[in-house]
Structure 1
Amino acid sequence: MTRAPNIIFLLPDQLRHDFLGCYGANFLSTPAIDALAAQGTRYETAISPSPICVPARASMLTGQPAHETGILNNASWLRPDHCQMGIHTWPELLAKAGYQTAAIGKMHFYPWDIGEGFQHRVIAEDKRHIHVRDDYHHALCAEGHGKLHGKEMQGYAETKGAAINPLPDHLQPDRWVANRAADYLRSLEGDQPVAMMVGFPGPHCPYDPPADALGRIDPAGLPAALPRTEESAKVLPELVAGYRQDWAGLDYSDLSDAQIRAIRHHYAVSVERLDEDIAMLIETLRETGRLENTIVVFASDHGDYLGDFGLMGKGFFHEPSIRVPLIVTDFRKPEPHVETAPVTLVDLFPSFLSWAGLPPAPQSRGTLLGASDNDRAIFGVTARGMMLRQGRWKLARYYVGSEALFDLQADPGEQENLIEQHPDIRARLDKLMTTELLRGMVAGHADKAVPASKSPPEGPFHDPYWLRPYPAPIS
């Protein structure tokens, strides 16, 4: 009998694809991640359809898009009785199939210590969750330290997020998570397959590498930000309002070129350090004899504007926000490949199940990775708006009233809004967007279904005191 493969899911937070060497970045060095790409499949166009931390993670966990989960912003989470509906997470399904499941690092679940199918957790809900008393908090306290708000770090206010983290190297958030993941791998015994998700807190803001790492990259060699546009200016006020809240305490109504350069510098340095953590984990898999039967998945929940269009963070549907790295390396049979057809993060759920030898789950809306479709229409939605991306065209609408159509082939930097010039394309994408929105709304309310209402006259639905099952299971 063939042994089920180990599945190691490496998920940095807020990593855009074009800050990796294997995606064309020549201003930093990411040899470990590049090596994964050189031995596996690198997905050139991987999309986060709901580019906000919690919606993206809920979709990856359940295989449902955001308009089905109902998770459209960072202030909500899956309903506690989702299992009663028949909606099971991929770690839950793999655990039932005999996998050891573990989540190390940042998961962004609510409550933060819930399992969601992971049998073992080591929790580091950093960088913005400074009041969570998780495992990382206790590790810091044990050495006389504590979690810091960005505004307590050197440089944070002046450069609007680019700061210096004063903690010792082994207590830097990403490094601490990587070391705990390595500890877990070394603790395993026997041949039981492992499914482990490693959630790195970085390179999410605050952009806070240690001071002694800054010299490894020349900020003058970093690419300049994409210019501001009339279209991006319409969504800027909402972004500004969000970052002014206490969790960040920053004013992004204006960004100087020097501030953008500093932010990009700190971000790039953090990515290089992340690459070292990836290298250490791959070596740990090799040392423990597990690598040759392991599938490694490297992705991110969304990108980061880093000053593109005068914006920061994520949450809207421009390419720097929705484009993420996705690399799948099957060490049972390493084979380099570049897939140019578009894929989405929702595709991870059915792929995890397939690799584990499990049947498809009824809830899953994703497509198996490897089933390429160059004409695939990708729908995305958050509380801020929605998007339909197909081929060279992308239509985006926001609740503030703005609308944009971009030709990504002729204008990859999304500088020219063509919404008035191409009414036929706008109408075609609008039809696809409406169809998917309505389909997802119906599926997202399946818990309220009353199938017995369609029963014949002799059914119990027609008897007095009939009790309605709730929630209704998905079919």
Structure 2
Amino acid sequence: MSVRPNILFLLPDQLRPDFLGCYGAGFLKTPAIDALAAQGTRWQTAISPSPICVPARASMLTGQHAHSTGIMHNLCWLRPDRHLMGIRTWPEILATEGYRTSAIGKMHFYPWDLSEGFQHRVIAEDKRHIYVRDDYHHALAAEGFAKLHGKEMAGYDDTKGACANPLPDHLQPDRWVAHRAADHIRNLQGDQPFAMMVGFPGPHCPYDPPADALGRVDPATMPTPLPRTAESETHMAAHVAAYKRDWADIDYATLTEDQVRAIRHHYAVSVERLDEDVALLIETLRETDRLNNTIVVFASDHGDYLGDFGLMGKGFFHEPSIRVPLIVSDFRAPEARVETAPASLLDLFPSFLNWAGAASVPQAQGRCLSDLDADRHIVGATSGGFMLRTSRWKLVRYGNGTEALFDLVIDPGEQANVIDANPMVRVQLDAALTKSLLKGFATSNADKNVPEAKSPPDGRFHDPFWQRPYPASSVRP
């Protein structure tokens, strides 16, 4: 085997950490994921700074804040001329270092079949993009099936998203992705190190495990949701409007206790099945004699409210939306450890480069996971608002005019907005937030820079018909 480690990056979609055994969930069983935590490092607090699918993934891919990439919502993507700006993705960088790079499953690129540096792709876009004719579409069609909207599944309307997927087990989205990833591992030849990202479409809504799996978790054991607050109610109108659109076609203006319990039950069952898919991949690494030289990373792009605050999905900056699991198991030297210093998804980019032996690059705005501190500020941005989070405080500001400050030590459930009672904390966090936002916006607009405007007298800038180079680099060497 190569001295350099293989990297297996497992990324379920919309997975909150408190639905995993190793994060304290006693109502379901996740032995494979728990085993990763038992022989690696588990971050107690890992944050998705931009808790929306596409912004989070663009940030992980480039190592940059959403307010630097400009990807602030789900209907945009990285600019196609980013190479001219000096921006490379982590798979591109690792490929130049001699890694074989692959992406299996959901990536959420636009176009959906874009490579973004991955040399090999097998594509299964998310369960809401049912018209994408990807590899999963063709696999279904070959057996006489098709992707389904949630409304075509039993229970979807009555329980507002909790339904039963009628597809055969081997064609269930996450399971199909897991088997394609296992096939790819088995087909690898030689000692060339690999960097492989596996994007599971679940447990993202619709919450659609197969009906015969529902008995494996007791719905009565589901944890109760956090109560609504005056602050969370200010987001309700936008939340309801988003889910009424065709992609979901659900009215979340009301949500009963029974519906929340059913949603959480289906979600928990999906997580248990995901754990089996993780077990398959770990066992495949072991069978192919690759496990002992592999670093396995397990994370998610954002969390899921699952009825907390009366909300579903993600998008705002409450803890159920921004908190994600983060586990790194280096099978070259297994060691159980719990890290309390907060991590950001932006930290994955420099960590991938570091593990591969690649030089750091100036575009990276996160830190290596081996170099975190408890006092860091984590800044978040989406098209809806901004956040600054420390180990104790969280300041949020939204475009709807809502402003809030939460003391996460005293009030981890974010039930009390204490912004008026803590003016000095507000000022300090606001200054740090403003500094980060200004730096990020400068980076996102660096393509328009004209450094030649400061040319010496003999520079070509002063000549007639001089043409401005575009785009300018967004990073400085």
Deviation at 1:449, TM superposition (A): 1.0
Deviation at 1:2, TM superposition (A): 6.3
CA contact 2:47–2:324 (8 Å) conserved in 1? yes
Rounded Cα–Cα distance in structure 1 between residues aligned with 2:177 and 2:253: 34
Deviation at 1:391, TM superposition (A): 2.0
- 1:158-177 mapped onto 2 (5 Å cutoff): 158-177=158-177
Rounded Cα–Cα distance in structure 1 between residues aligned with 2:84 and 2:101: 21
Is 1:54 aligned with 2:62? no
CA contact 2:2–2:193 (8 Å) conserved in 1? no
Deviation at 1:177, TM superposition (A): 0.1
Match of 1:68 in 2: 68
In structure 1, stretches of 5+ residues that fail to align are: none
Is 1:104 aligned with 2:104? yes
Match of 2:333 in 1: 333
Per-residue displacement from partner, 1:341-368 (whole Å, max 9, x unpaired)?
0110000000000000000111100000
Match of 2:143 in 1: 143
Rounded Cα–Cα distance in structure 1 between residues aligned with 2:203 and 2:275: 11
Per-residue displacement from partner, 1:75-129 (whole Å, max 9, x unpaired)?
0000001011110000001111111100000000000000000010000013000
Match of 1:116 in 2: 116
CA contact 2:393–2:406 (8 Å) conserved in 1? yes
Deviation at 1:445, TM superposition (A): 1.0
Deviation at 1:451, TM superposition (A): 1.3
- 1:267-306 mapped onto 2 (5 Å cutoff): 267-306=267-306
Deviation at 1:281, TM superposition (A): 0.2
Deviation at 1:421, TM superposition (A): 1.0
- 1:30-49 mapped onto 2 (5 Å cutoff): 30-49=30-49
Match of 1:199 in 2: 199
Is 1:255 aligned with 2:259? no
Match of 2:453 in 1: 453
Match of 2:408 in 1: 408
Rounded Cα–Cα distance in structure 2 between residues aligned with 1:122 and 1:419: 48
Give the SS at the match of 2:429. helix
Deviation at 1:462, TM superposition (A): 1.1
Is 1:266 aligned with 2:272? no
Rounded Cα–Cα distance in structure 1 between residues aligned with 2:231 and 2:197: 37
Rounded Cα–Cα distance in structure 1 between residues aligned with 2:180 and 2:303: 25
Match of 1:91 in 2: 91
Rounded Cα–Cα distance in structure 2 between residues aligned with 1:406 and 1:353: 35
- 1:406-445 mapped onto 2 (5 Å cutoff): 406-445=406-445
Match of 2:243 in 1: 243
Aligned length: 475
Match of 1:351 in 2: 351
Give the SS at the match of 1:269. helix
Give the SS at the match of 1:83. helix
Rounded Cα–Cα distance in structure 2 between residues aligned with 1:96 and 1:465: 38
Rounded Cα–Cα distance in structure 1 between residues aligned with 2:155 and 2:172: 17
TM-score, length of structure 1 as denominator length: 0.99
Match of 1:184 in 2: 184
Match of 1:391 in 2: 391
User: Which residue type is aligned with residue 218 of structure 1?
Assistant: D
Per-residue displacement from partner, 1:195-222 (whole Å, max 9, x unpaired)?
0000000000000000010000001011
Deviation at 1:4, TM superposition (A): 1.1
Distance 1:2 1:194, change over 3 A: closer
How well do the aligned residues superpose, as a CA RMSD in angstroms?
A: 0.8
Per-residue displacement from partner, 1:414-466 (whole Å, max 9, x unpaired)?
11111111111111111111111111111111111111111111111111221
User: Which residue type is aligned with residue 417 of structure 2?
Assistant: N
Deviation at 1:468, TM superposition (A): 1.2
Distance 1:23 1:193, change over 3 A: same
User: Which residue type is aligned with residue 252 of structure 2?
Assistant: Y
User: Which residue type is aligned with residue 71 of structure 2?
Assistant: I
User: Which residue type is aligned with residue 107 of structure 1?
Assistant: M
